[in-house]
A and B are shown apart, each in its own frame.
Chain A
Amino acid sequence: MSNRTYLDFAATTPTDPSVLAAMLPYFSEKYGNPSSIHSFGQETRAAIEAARQQVAGLIAAKPEEIVFTSGGTEADNQALEGIAWANEKNGNHIICSAIEHHAVLHCAEFLKKRGFAVTVVPVDQDGLVSPEAVAQAITPKTVLVSVMHANNEIGTVEPIREISEVIGRRTKDEGRKIYFHTDAVQTAGHLPINVAELGVDLLSISAHKLYGPKGIGALYIKKGTRLTPFLHGGGQENNRRASTENVPGIVGFGAAADLAAQTMAEENAKLLPLRDKLIKGLTTLIPDVRLNGHASVRLPNNVNVSVKFIEGESMLLNLDMLGIAASSGSACTSGSLDPSHVLLAIGLPHEIAHGSLRFTLGKQTTEAEIDLVLEKLPPIVDKLRRMSPLYPGGKK
């Protein structure tokens, strides 16, 4: 397995060597606790504040609006629960889209068990959330709307700005604040983000999706937004998240954010034609294949297809044995039997949702790798279809 092809950048990215280099001094050389008064603490305090500026810069926020978390999941959970508990007296209704990440959906379910009402807004066949549907879902009890910036499975980019406008109008009508959260884990560092232009109050980011380290993320919290914290036991992160800061992680996150801001445009210019070549190749070389997600309003690195009559898992394992790493649109292999909630939400029947495959491209992706997939996948599909009882002309 010396020549492996990684096409699962939406799952995670390699830490950029320059990011790793920035982190290294913060393990054994500069190890002070940022809360300490002495010089050891001062140098790490300075480092995390510099990183905070870098991360804020990536989304055009103010540094004091950034709270570092352990990752995207914590940021999503903190946003939902933090707003829910802080506004319990003003209302108990939460709205989210049907294709949110489980870090949002499961958290909403948890809140439902604790007495909140949850409305799940459907999406259209391309995975788009309709701002009108969000407007209609708002009730006098609504405290929070959560719609992701772009979907991690099918790549559709949501009309966040338009949704924020309808929320703004309703906020005015109601005469009280309705908060708007977006999970930007798939877009931060990949699409330009300006929190003011998007009109969001909360936004989640994860460092390892943008060539930073794992175990670190951030929640943007618009100035003036009150949130009940998760962790108690220290005054870190401006009293919003107790726990000694993950200094190397934060420093790496900052470096990765900086790097992403510089390289984003160039990377997208490279990825778009590769993405489109892969989509075009898969849909023309293999019969009975459909592209999932919006054809144009989609992440520049995302390809998600359903291959009729066979299972995504089988294609995935066959590709893996050839050293090609992709992901299946369906539930993780050890997980539940249900296919992806995202694919079901865009209206795919179970059997087609089960036959889904996701390729996500990244910095290291080359045209030769795209060609390799286009060479290797069609015969795999052909072989599996011949064994499939569902395939006309297949076995048994």
Chain B
Amino acid sequence: MSGNFRVNKRKVLVAMSGGVDSSVAAALLKEQGDDLIGVTMSLYCGTKALGSGCCSLNSARDAKLVADRLGFPHYSVNFKADFQSLIIDNFIDEYRQGRTPNPCIRCNQLIKFSLLLAKAKELGADYIATGHYARIPLPVTRYSLLKGKDQKKDQSYVLYRLTQEQLAKTLFPLGEMTKAEVRQKAKALNLAVADKPESQEICFVEDDDYGRFIRENAPELVRPGPIIDRTGKVVGEHQGIAFYTIGQRKGVGHHRGAPKYVVGLDRERNAVVIGDDADLLKTELTARELSFVAGKGPTGPMVITAKIRYNGSEAAATLMPDGKVVFEQPQRAVTPGQSVVFYQREEVLGGGLISS
């Protein structure tokens, strides 16, 4: 990623959402002299596809305009069938199991850095580039995935399931930049997307209303059941455990005394378990489906920092080879289905799905 000229032009497929980040990523590569192919993935249909979501028709149009401005070809590729079966169906199934999924992690693993990477090979591209805020320095003995320099924007959390092979083929041109610098760059280049609002939500869930999404796409999950306290006493009724997430306060009814939170989802009994704030605190969790982007996992107890949700903060912990994580300080609302990601300083070691 260093140097302003290159003897051999690299051929790079840039994943373009039409947003400011991927547009600037493309512009930076173009300035470095890379030979670019812009690609926008069409992933799902739905009313949101007409609006402002990141995979919408408008996005493809914005991306096309940027590619045209910068002078490289742009294509839309259709991954709708795979996105439905690998991402959306799984998203619904996770809720059915009483878990709270993060579909972006899975999408990065199975769509962007798999299907799109395969597309890159088909098109003769050596690398795939995205607008993620993360870094992959030149390898010494292996590739490493580092946090983005902009700590506030760092997106390494959603990339922990990548493999060494995928890192070898990946470029993150924004890794060394802050969001402010990216916006500035977009303005300097006069890119029309410079002031586009940030997209934080799950792209296929309209208005970030996942309750409505579940009702419309998986009506069988609307299954009323009891709200119980930690002793098993029924204290209310819920519309379906899929509408609840650990740590949630809304929708658990009014109770005397201290505020109540969702502290567990019991799929067997179709019950939402509520408790006090203190009941949300845990010093341990177990992760399954471990994946180590650094190459390999620990063989003995390993001192790490761990993050249990995208917007969470890292906490000191010990990682066991079997996926058990023991925190130094209790963590609030450990949520099954979310990912725990392991770090050592700047580097992402890997992570797994929280099972309990």
Q: How far is A321 from B81 in the complex, measured between Cα atoms in Å?
A: 26
**A320-B73, A387-B118 known; A333+B78 contact, CB < 8 A:** yes
Residue A368 lies at the interface, judged by CB distance under 8 Å to chain B? no
Residue A364 lies at the interface, judged by CB distance under 8 Å to chain B? no
The interface bits of chain A over 291-329 (1 if a CB of B lies within 8 angstroms of the residue's CB, else 0) are: 000000000000000000000011001101100000000
Residue B138 lies at the interface, judged by CB distance under 8 Å to chain A? no
**A333-B77, A334-B60, A334-B78 known; A321+B123 contact, CB < 8 A:** yes
The A interface, classified by DSSP as helix, strand, loop or mixed, is helix
Q: How far is A318 from B80 in the complex, measured between Cα atoms in Å?
A: 21
* A318:B124 contact, CB within 8 angstroms: yes
Q: How far is A103 from B73 in the complex, measured between Cα atoms in Å?
A: 29
* B122:A314 contact, CB within 8 angstroms: yes
Q: How far is A318 from B120 in the complex, measured between Cα atoms in Å?
A: 11
Residue A337 lies at the interface, judged by CB distance under 8 Å to chain B? yes
Residue B76 lies at the interface, judged by CB distance under 8 Å to chain A? yes
* B122:A333 contact, CB within 8 angstroms: no
Shortest B341–chain A CB gap in Å is 29
* B42:A334 contact, CB within 8 angstroms: yes
- Smallest CB gap from B11: residue in A: A321
- Smallest CB gap from B71: residue in A: A1
* B122:A384 contact, CB within 8 angstroms: yes
Residue B310 lies at the interface, judged by CB distance under 8 Å to chain A? no
Q: How far is A335 from B80 in the complex, measured between Cα atoms in Å?
A: 10
Q: How far is A318 from B122 in the complex, measured between Cα atoms in Å?
A: 8
Q: How far is A327 from B237 in the complex, measured between Cα atoms in Å?
A: 57
Residue B75 lies at the interface, judged by CB distance under 8 Å to chain A? yes
Pick from A317, A334, A337: contact of B123, CB under 8 Å: A317
Shortest A326–chain B CB gap in Å is 14
* A337:B122 contact, CB within 8 angstroms: no
**A320-B73, A321-B73, A387-B118 known; A337+B78 contact, CB < 8 A:** yes
Q: How large is the interface on A (under 10, 10 to 19, 20 to 34, 35 or more residues)?
A: 10 to 19
Contacts of B81 in A (CB 8 A): 337
Contacts of B124 in A (CB 8 A): 318, 321, 383
**A320-B73, A321-B73 known; A387+B78 contact, CB < 8 A:** no
* A317:B75 contact, CB within 8 angstroms: yes
Q: How large is the interface on B (under 10, 10 to 19, 20 to 34, 35 or more residues)?
A: 10 to 19
Instruction: List residues of B (64-102) whose CB comes within 8 Å of A's CBs.
Output: 73, 75-78, 80-81
* A334:B37 contact, CB within 8 angstroms: no
Residue B121 lies at the interface, judged by CB distance under 8 Å to chain A? yes
Shortest A217–chain B CB gap in Å is 26
- Smallest CB gap from B60: residue in A: A334
Q: How far is A387 from B119 in the complex, measured between Cα atoms in Å?
A: 10
* A334:B122 contact, CB within 8 angstroms: no
The interface bits of chain B over 112-142 (1 if a CB of A lies within 8 angstroms of the residue's CB, else 0) are: 0000001101111000000000000000000
**A321-B124, A334-B42 known; A313+B77 contact, CB < 8 A:** yes
Closest 3 pairs (CB-CB, A-B) = A334-B76, A314-B122, A333-B76
Having A318-B122, A334-B78, A387-B121, one finds 6 other A-B pairs with CB under 8 Å, namely A321-B73, A321-B124, A333-B78, A334-B76, A335-B78, A337-B78
A-B contact pairs, 18 of them (CB 8 A): A313-B77, A313-B78, A314-B119, A314-B122, A317-B75, A317-B122, A318-B123, A320-B73, A321-B37, A321-B123, A333-B75, A333-B77, A333-B78, A334-B42, A334-B60, A334-B76, A335-B78, A387-B118
Binding site for B on A (CB under 8 A): 313-314, 317-318, 320-321, 333-335, 337, 383-384, 387
Binding site for A on B (CB under 8 A): 37, 42, 57, 60, 73, 75-78, 80-81, 118-119, 121-124
